[in-house]
Amino acid sequence: MHRPTLPSRRRTLLVTAVVAVTVVPLPAGPVAAAPTADRQQQYAAAASEYGVPTDVLLGVSYLESRWDSNAGTPSTSGGYGPMHLTDARHVTALPGRGHHDTGTEDPRGDDSRTALAPREASEPAPPSAALQTVDAAAALTGVAPESLRTDPNANIRGGAALLASYQRELGAPVGTGTDPAAWYGAVARYAGADSADAAAAFADEVFTTIGAGESRVTDDGQRVTLPARTVRPQRTWLDRLGLRKLARPDGLECPRTISCEWIPAPYEAFGAGDYGNHDLSDRPKRQKIEYIVIHDTEASWATTLKLVQDPTYVSWHYSLRSVDGHIAQHVKTKDVAWHAGNWYVNAKSIGLEHEGFAAQGTWYTEAMYRTSAKLVRHLALRLGIPLDRQHIIGHDNVPGTTAATVRGMHWDPGPYWDWTHYFDLLHAPRLDTGTSATGLVRIDPDYATNRPAFIGCVTPGVPCPSRGSSSVVLRSAPSADAPLVNDIALRPDGTPNTMEVSDHGARASAGQTYALAGRQGDWTAIWYLGQRAWFHNPASAPTATWTVGMVVTPKPGRATIPVYGRAYPEQAAYPAGVPYQAISPLQYTLAAGQRYAVGAVLPGEYYRASTFDGSSPGDWTVIRGDNRYVQVQFGHRIMYVNLADVQVLPSPVGAPR
């Protein structure tokens, strides 16, 4: 998302909801439960204390947090702890260093029109107290809000108390021996959703989790297990919540199993021939969609919806709400939204904005991960988009269009987006048949234990909270003391990149595939931005897996070849009256002896869309020429090389061991 610059004192994480929290008194009980030995026992004790079936309590907690405590830091919707008790008052002000604030890219990414300028936007009204569930939990348990936010045991007790309160308010039976099926209404209420559709989707996912069972080690080292249990939830309890039901108009492009509504982004003409906030097309008939781009909003749900409905602003296809995973569609997938900062990628992609913040120590809810994965899988299967990291990419993987724009490109959803878990939810195929001799490595760190020492999440130069990450750090030599590698576009003077959380020029991310460049002890080297880049990859705790595929290398006799940020046709392909879009190389070069993993072979294309009514010469047409390009994983971002410049080879050929 492309948020206008705001003074840092005015940036606050806002939580939006309309479901009021009513506190129903529970039978008197102890203020604090006796300490228990482990997290599993804490769930069982809280369930017993408040009369909630243990599997219901575990199922709700899993969908909120996957049972993680997240070190007492808030989620992207202000929720704390394993039970995601919300407290908007204690979410700190966001610093003026967010990726949408510092990025200077034009979100349209096309020089056929004047770039969109940053502008001020008013903040929405303060958040409703409706999702101030930590206060309700405090009243029910007698535990102070601070403990409910930071103590996992207290947090679990607070969540159990809320569930029991909701159950009693509905007039439904309470007790650990009650049928979990009768808790459907209370579970739906716990979502904090403002519609029956969103509440039901949350509850359905909880009961699906109960049916499948789960077991994992939490971020603080606690083994928690939810045994599989067949439950047929009694969905009629949902009606007693009195929530509005969403209209699902014909053409809404979401699977029926998730909560989704149509909130259109305006396509309007204004000013002196200007228009916004997207372009019409007829994809995939007119042009194949190659990518789905994952963003975070750097804004609250209310702000996100306000901005996407502004005709003078920018657009994206879908927004996803943190608290319950609800989705709003804004632009038809056949049309081109302005979201990625690269017109070639925009013209061939679908953009998803997730309510959240890339660097503020906040975390993305499981509910949002799950609905996002369901939507992406639905779109990918319908449109023939491969479920891999060459096609399901972050905004931080989108290349600059020219050398001048590389530095200003954005870096969301950031190093704390859990790509491995996301691809597990996508049920994406994995190719793990490689060895060190096959020449390709796929980055694959353990998210929970991989904790790079990033800085600047909240305050410049100050260490970020220790937390799991999808990113591995790349060094210039096989040593933890070696400087980070240099990204010449970000630091033309050749100085190393840094551990600033927004400085992605020396890191690789889970699922990305690179060509092997060497091995030394516990260190592995990959080809990255024209150099060898080393990461720690010990056999006892690997951060990558071997795989196979295709690579490119310069054709014999070529010392170096150019690298591009867009795959445009040659000048001769443009019809009369249509300005030529220059094939402009980036700062990087691919040198002889280096190899880069192939993502796809693509035709050179340019979608011409520069006027509101399609009246400009060549408008609403795709210009194609003889040029063909190979998409490669050249750095943290994908890039393109001309097929005529390279050899495409199986990865084992000449691979180092």
How many beta carbons lie within 10 A of that of residue 597, not counting itself? 27
Question: Domain limits of the chain?
Answer: 39-94+130-241, 252-415, 551-650
Of 564, 636, 642, nearest to 602 (Cα)?
642
**Euclidean distance between CA atoms 500 and 502, whole angstroms:** 5
Query: Measuring CA to CA, how many Å separate 89 from each of 24, 305, 371?
Result: 23, 22, 27
Between CA 460 and CA 463, with CA 91 as vertex, the angle to 5 degrees is 25
Q: 547 φ, ψ to 5°?
A: -150, 180
Dist CA 390 CA 293 (whole Å): 11
- Tell me if 243 sits within 8 A of 86, measured CB to CB: no
Calculate helix-pair angle for 196-212, 366-383, nearest 10 degrees: 90
Strand segments, DSSP code E, in 34-113 are: 79-80, 85-86
Quick check: helix, strand or coil at residue 175? coil
CA distance linking residue 267 with residue 432, whole number of Å: 45
Q: Say what the pLDDT of residue 430 is.
A: 83
Which tokens sit at 445? 């760190």
- If one looks up domain 39-94+130-241 in CATH, what number appears? 1.10.530
Residues 6+ apart with CB under 8 A from 196: 238, 241, 243, 244, 245, 246
The SS3 call for residue 346 is helix
The burial class, CB within 10 Å (0-12 / 13-18 / 19+), for 239 is exposed
Under 8 Å between Cβ of 435 and 382: no
Q: What is the pLDDT of residue 3?
A: 40
For residue 363 the two structure tokens come to 């975390």
Q: Which of 50, 45, 46 is nearest to 27 (CA)?
A: 50
The amino acid that residue 267 corresponds to is Y
**Cα 657 → chain centroid:** 34
Which of 201, 206, 174 has the alpha carbon at shortest distance from 55?
206
The rounded distance, in Å, linking the Cα atoms of 149 and 573 is: 61
**Rounded Cα gap, residues 329 and 346, in angstroms:** 17
Task: Give the mean pLDDT per block of 10 residues along the chain (657 residues).
Answer: 35 32 37 59 98 98 96 89 88 41 68 62 48 93 97 98 97 95 98 94 97 96 97 97 93 95 96 90 98 93 93 95 96 97 97 90 90 98 98 98 94 95 95 85 96 92 93 98 97 96 96 97 98 97 96 98 98 96 96 97 97 94 97 98 98 70
Strands (E), 555-611: 560-564, 585-591, 596-608
Provide CB contacts within 8 A for 599, sequence distance 6+: 388, 390, 391, 630, 631, 632, 633, 638
CA end-to-end distance (rounded Å), the chain: 42
What SS3 state is found at 410? coil
Is CATH 3.40.80.10 the right assignment for the domain spanning 252-415? yes
Question: pLDDT value at position 469?
Answer: 95
